[in-house]
Structure 1
Amino acid sequence: MKVVQEQKQECQKYGATPIFPIFNQMIVISKGVYEGLAVEAVRYPSPEHMSGWWLTTDLYDDNVESLMTVHFHHLAFMRPEIIKYFALPFGYRFYISDKEQDIWFDENALK
């Protein structure tokens, strides 16, 4: 329940209606996400089995074939500190590091 409440609060900060990911949906990640590096994320409109979230780190080499598709629940256990952002709707982006956090809406992510 705490996670859901945190997700709702994050959405409220930005006047966004939450779209909660489901634990068995998939998320696309690059190397370094599981290892705790700073994450840049974007949520694209996606098929139902996907959450829409794509997360990359500085280790991402711009080769989409190097990306991994993982279940949301695996990421929830590996990176619980970023889960509160995952109810932000399609078109939202965030950047999270040890030193900063930035969340914004990007109209281009919807195209």
Structure 2
Amino acid sequence: MVGVSRSILQRPAAVSWPLHGLRHPPEGQGDGWYLWTGDLSEAVDFFVPNHVEHVISEWPEVAPYLGLPPGWRVLLAPGYEDIWFDSALLDISDSR
């Protein structure tokens, strides 16, 4: 399971770039990935669980990055990609 923002679920009707992604260590049924477009929110219901297959079917651009281990971030837009390691994502005491 991947945590996705509601804006991710609205594609293709409301395509919004860039797409942000980060991976925390897996927890429970979640694989640690959180994906969103637009502004990140602290709201408890900002991210909703979604099967990775559904995410890939709507956002195939993200598929090559979902194999990255915990600690990685991505920022994608048409013709642009940025991938970097962020050790702060590995701090399991950090609230999500």
RMSD: 1.6
Unaligned runs of 5+ in 1: 1-25
TM-score by length of 1: 0.69
Runs of 4+ residues deviating >6 angstroms: none
Greater strand percent: which structure? Answer: 2
Q: Structure 2: which amino acid aligns with 1:65?
A: D
Q: How many residues align?
A: 86
Greater helix percent: which structure? Answer: 1
**Alpha-carbon separation, structure 1, partners of 2:4 and 2:35:** 5
Q: Structure 1: which amino acid aligns with 2:52?
A: F
Kept in 2: contact 1:41–1:54 (CA 8 A):
yes
Kept in 2: contact 1:32–1:59 (CA 8 A):
no
Write the mapping of 1:1-111 to structure 2, written as runs, cut at 5 A: 26-34=1-9, 35=11, 36-37=15-16, 38-47=18-27, 49-111=29-91
TM-score by length of 2: 0.79
